[in-house]
Amino acid sequence: MTLRERFTQELKDAMKAGDKRKLGTVRMIQAAVKDKDIEVRGAGREQASDEEILALLQKMIKQRQESAEVYAQNNREELAVQEREEAAIVQEFLPRQLDEAETRAAIEAAIAQTGASSMKDMGKVIGKLRGEYAGRMDFARASALVKEMLPKG
């Protein structure tokens, strides 16, 4: 089942179950995917790839988490809870995330495959990781690890 088919199925299931939070969140995801499809049509493609959709979902999760923090800091706990619930629903569509050890191993492999020898090669390493682990890796964390693992020079 493709991601798009899964969104449609989850939408139907949420409607049947009367789960308003999930229904609204899946509709929001579908709207974001449609926007992404429109964006890529300008590049001459029919629709966004699964990798682009996974990156979009990660971005949505990050936005929800940041919003939840802001709401919590401003004593708007009901809104913070809503943002966290939406983030959890979006997270369900992502593949299992790599843990710390798996991320380090993937970075080591990418460094070896790209022949990276210094911080100047960081872009190559991150590019390789994005190509292979879209939707499965936290790239903010991975960037910090790449900086740590590459020789300074």
Residues 131-152 have a mean pLDDT of 83
3-state secondary structure the chain: CCHHHHHHHHHHHHHHHCCHHHHHHHHHHHHHHHHHHHHHHCCCCCCCCHHHHHHHHHHHHHHHHHHHHHHHHCCCHHHHHHHHHHHHHHHCCCCCCCCHHHHHHHHHHHHHHHCCCCHHHHHHHHHHHHHHHCCCCCHHHHHHHHHHHCCCC
* pLDDT value of residue 153: 59
* Model confidence pTM above 0.85: no
Tens digits of per-residue pLDDT, 13-45?
Answer: 999 999 999 999 999 999 999 999 999 998 888
Which domains, from first to last, does the chain contain? 3-91 (1.10.1510.10), 100-149 (1.10.10.410)
Mean predicted lDDT score pLDDT of the chain: 91
